[in-house]
């Protein structure tokens, strides 16, 4: 595992962790679909302002989206319209602590979709983590163990997790591109789409203070979180980034207990332990073996000191830069994650 991507994943988790308890407070005054729209618009507006202060040199180091990535970008936007609306409906019907922990099911959805649709390698330890998180999710979803009835709020949260699981894998395909550009596209594209749905279903903008609060939450919990998440995906891949991201629900659950004075149930406490064990198993997996890199060409930010970018420049170039380049075929052994340079089969 690489330290910088891991740090970015944990920062993403910390930023997102505050969303459930704060959103629960805002849902008392704002409809779910409208709040979902404002959260993504806050991400788009906030990160656009950050982009204004970004140095031109820093911006020039990042590769921009091309036509080849448009299908993934379109799918990302559509799924980001659906997922937060589903989450807000689920949050309105359940406790913020339970909803926070249920967000961990996003790891399971992301990992399974990464395995089935994108052929990302998943080891034994990751499977144990998936099993533990699935068990914890089931415990939180069942509202009555005697009759095995499921909470509707939990069902909505789980559907949101599946939507985000698919979206995480689409975003992973864009992770080598400019993360600020991706977040701005996500924010405005998904925000405008969700706002249209909210207004069409009868929602109306409330007080300016509520709107500003929702936009501010969106900037931190969605804008900054997604930015750090994309940086993490570059080095860790979709499944493992979501594993580190799993610590966000524990932040949300802790804040929920502090803000809402909730008393944890026995089933919640057991689910908490099971999910924490699963998150730790997933987050600290180590993967190393001899593997082959096939020749490939793509464009992204890189340096020549990472052992994978051995092409030459005339005149020589040092430090990070971005351009279209070719990776020569090579066989070597080192610890790695299934990032965009390690999509090999096992």
Residues 117-128 have pLDDT tens digits of 777 666 777 778
Residue 160 pLDDT = 92
Residues 205-233 have pLDDT tens digits of 778 899 999 999 999 999 999 899 888 87
CA angle centred on 109, ends 139 and 248, rounded to 5°: 70
Cβ-proximal residues to 131 (8 Å cutoff; 6+ apart), any chain:
278
Residues 244-290 have pLDDT tens digits of 776 777 777 777 777 777 777 787 788 778 878 877 776 666 656 56
Residues 40-82 have pLDDT tens digits of 999 999 999 998 888 776 667 777 888 888 999 999 999 999 9
When the pLDDT of each residue in the chain is averaged and rounded to a whole number, the result is 79
Using pLDDT thresholds of 50, 70 and 90, give the confidence band for residue 239: low
Residues 98-113 have pLDDT tens digits of 777 777 788 788 888 8
Tokens encoding 179: 């993360």
Domain boundaries, the chain: 3-288, 295-328
Whether 245 contacts 104, CB under 8 Å: no
Whether 287 contacts 116, CB under 8 Å: no
The residues facing 297 across adjacent strands are: 326
Neighbours of 28 (CB within 10 A): 8
d(CA 42, CA 24): 17
The residues facing 292 across adjacent strands are: 331
Full-model pTM: 0.72
Distance of CA 105 to the CA centre of its chain: 12
Q: Among 27-41, 186-200, 299-313, which stretch is predicted with the lowest mean pLDDT?
A: 299-313
Q: Among 217-221, 303-307, 334-338, which stretch is predicted with the lowest mean pLDDT?
A: 334-338
């Amino acid at each position: 595992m690489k330290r910088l991507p891991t740090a970015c994943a944990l920062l993403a988790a910390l930023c997102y962790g505050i969303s459930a308890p704060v959103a629960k407070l805002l849902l008392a005054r704002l409809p779910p679909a409208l709040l979902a729209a404002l959260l993504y618009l806050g991400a788009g507006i906030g990160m656009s302002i950050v982009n204004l202060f970004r140095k031109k040199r820093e911006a020039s180091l990042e590769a921009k989206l091309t036509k080849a990535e448009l299908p993934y970008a379109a799918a990302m936007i559509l799924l980001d319209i659906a997922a937060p609306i589903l989450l807000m409906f689920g949050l309105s019907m359940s406790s913020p602590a339970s909803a926070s922990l249920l967000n961990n099911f996003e790891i399971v959805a992301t990992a399974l979709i990464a395995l089935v649709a994108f052929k990302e390698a998943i080891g034994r330890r990751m499977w144990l983590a998936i099993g533990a998180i699935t068990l914890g999710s089931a415990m939180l979803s069942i509202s009555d163990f005697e009759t095995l009835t499921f909470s509707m709020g939990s069902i909505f949260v789980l559907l949101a997790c599946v939507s985000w699981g698919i979206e995480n894998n689409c975003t992973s395909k864009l992770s080598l591109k400019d993360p600020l550009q991706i977040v701005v596209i996500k924010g405005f594209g998904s925000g405008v789409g969700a706002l249209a749905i909210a207004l069409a279903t009868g929602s109306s903008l409330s007080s300016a203070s509520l709107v500003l609060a929702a936009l501010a939450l969106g900037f931190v919990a969605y804008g900054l979180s997604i930015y750090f998440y994309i940086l993490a995906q570059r080095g860790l891949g979709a499944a493992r980034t979501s594993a580190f991201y799993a610590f966000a629900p524990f932040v949300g659950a802790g804040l929920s207990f502090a803000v809402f004075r909730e008393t944890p149930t026995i089933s919640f406490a057991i689910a908490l332990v099971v999910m924490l064990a699963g998150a730790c198993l997933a987050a600290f997996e180590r993967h190393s073996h001899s593997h082959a890199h096939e020749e490939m060409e793509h464009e992204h930010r890189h340096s020549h000191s990472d052992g994978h970018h051995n092409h030459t420049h005339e005149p020589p170039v040092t430090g990070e830069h971005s351009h279209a380049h070719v990776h020569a075929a090579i066989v070597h052994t080192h610890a790695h994650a299934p990032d965009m340079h390690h999509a090999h089969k096992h």
